[in-house]
Structures are given as C-alpha cells and as structure tokens.
Amino acid sequence: MDDGLQKLEMFYEGKAKKLYSTPDPDLVIAHFKDDATAFNAKKRGTIEDKGVINNRMSELFFGILEKAGVKTHFVRRLNDRDMLCKRLEIVPVETVVRNIVAGSMAKRLGREEGEELKWPIVEYYYKSDPLDDPLIYAEHALLFGWATEAELRTIHELALKVNEVLRRFLDERGVILVDFKLEFGRHKGEILLGDEICPDTCRFWDKATRTKLDKDRFRRDLGDVEGAYQEMLRRVEG
C-alpha cells in the first residue's frame, strides 16, 4: 500500500464497513463491504459492488463538503474498497436531516411519504443496536454526556450546512435529497464529519420520476438495487 500505509488490526466490524488501525495512530482505514442490512439487521443481504460505489461516492461527497468548509474525517481513497480516514472518537448520536417526509417519520407521525417540509428538520437518534437507535432530544445527549453543548451546536450547524451543499449539488444532477444520516466524531479536540455518505445512508429520488435511487430498493424489495446504486454514482460523478 502507498505511503507505507497498511492495515494492522481490525478493531471494528460494522454492518457495512470494517475499520483497521494503521501504523499512524491518528489514521484508520475503512474497508467498504457489500453486505447490506435493514431494520436493525433483521433483514440481511448483499448488494453487488455496493462497497466500491459507496467508497467512491463518499469520496466525491466528502470532497465537495471539504471545499464548502465542512471538516470531515476523509483523507483519501486508497483503492476500490479502502478509504484512509482520520481516527475519530465517535459521538454516539446519529444525526438525521430531512427535507421531505419518508421512512420512520412518515410511520411515526402518520404523514404521507413525499410531503415537503417547510424547512429542513434535524433529528437525533441514540446509536444503540439493543435499543434500535431511539429518537432522542439533543438534551438527552447533554444529560448523558454523549456530547457537550458546544459540540451539539457544531453538529447542528454542520448538519444543515451539509444539507444545503448536497441538496444544491444533487438538484443540479436531477436528484432530490429526501433525507440522510450523519455521524460525527472528535479528532484532536475538533468535531469532524465521519462515516460515509451514500445510498445506504441517504434517500435519493429522481427529480423527474421520483424513482428511488437508494437503499429503500433493498429495504422494500423494489428490485434493481444494484442499478440504482450505479445510477446514483453516475449522477454524482457528473
């Protein structure tokens, strides 16, 4: 591997990625898998070449965001499935931004999927598999010491900024950014955007036809999952 960077020990294996330490304690390598899960891993499968697509798409999105002033963990893509990242101490809160009602919001509040929100909403979920990632208030994160007030302010601000930047970028490519999930972490005292940004973590609808171009095709057995991921990458690559 270049720069003498090599995978040392796998220290984490998630549903979609494996994380490896490197000789540099500040850097990790994320390896993107094809495994797909939904409904807190109650549904499992694989999406061919998903890892390759998500790695490349995340590289492009992180690049756009860095240019717009959003600090991320992204260092560079090493190969088809590996990404070099800054090591983060993950904040155990998932941040969801929504522009249009879909998924759990439609279900929880009895709203029609596709309803446009008057302004984007930022929601927080506690990252906990045994609890199924429950919806929380920001105040829970403060009370239980998951993040400080300053960190939550930064996370809120960055989440809206990411939404603005990606929404405009995707709109120009005929894609509606319906909603998405972000994860943040601390690196040398600073909050950085982490994880990945891809059809696993976002809802993308074609602007003209409202066709789903994201993981809902897998979650809801809509067919042509691979085709949707490939089409999204084509749109993002431009």
| Whether the Cβ atoms of residue 126 and residue 137 lie closer than 8 Å to each other | no
**Within positions 91 to 150, which residues make up the interface with ligand UDP, using CB under 6 A?**
96, 102-105, 133
Under the binding rule (CB under 6 A), the answer on residue 179 touching ligand UDP is: yes
**Within positions 204 to 223, which residues make up the interface with ligand UDP, using CB under 6 A?**
215
Residue nearest to ligand UDP (CB): 103
Under the binding rule (CB under 6 A), the answer on residue 159 touching ligand UDP is: no
Torsional class of 198: left (φ above 0), alpha (ψ -120 to 50), beta (otherwise): beta
Under the binding rule (CB under 6 A), the answer on residue 203 touching ligand UDP is: yes
Task: Output the six-digit token pair for 41.
Answer: 């891993």
# chain residues binding ligand UDP, by CB under 6 A? 13
Candidate segments 5-13, 59-67, 178-186, 205-213, binder of ligand UDP by CB under 6 A: 178-186
Cα 35 off chain centre by: 15
How many residues belong to the chain? Answer: 238
| Whether the Cβ atoms of residue 81 and residue 49 lie closer than 8 Å to each other | no
Under the binding rule (CB under 6 A), the answer on residue 233 touching ligand UDP is: no
Phi, psi angles (nearest 5°) of residue 37:
-130, 160
Residues that bind ligand UDP (CB under 6 A): 96, 102-105, 133, 179-181, 201-203, 215
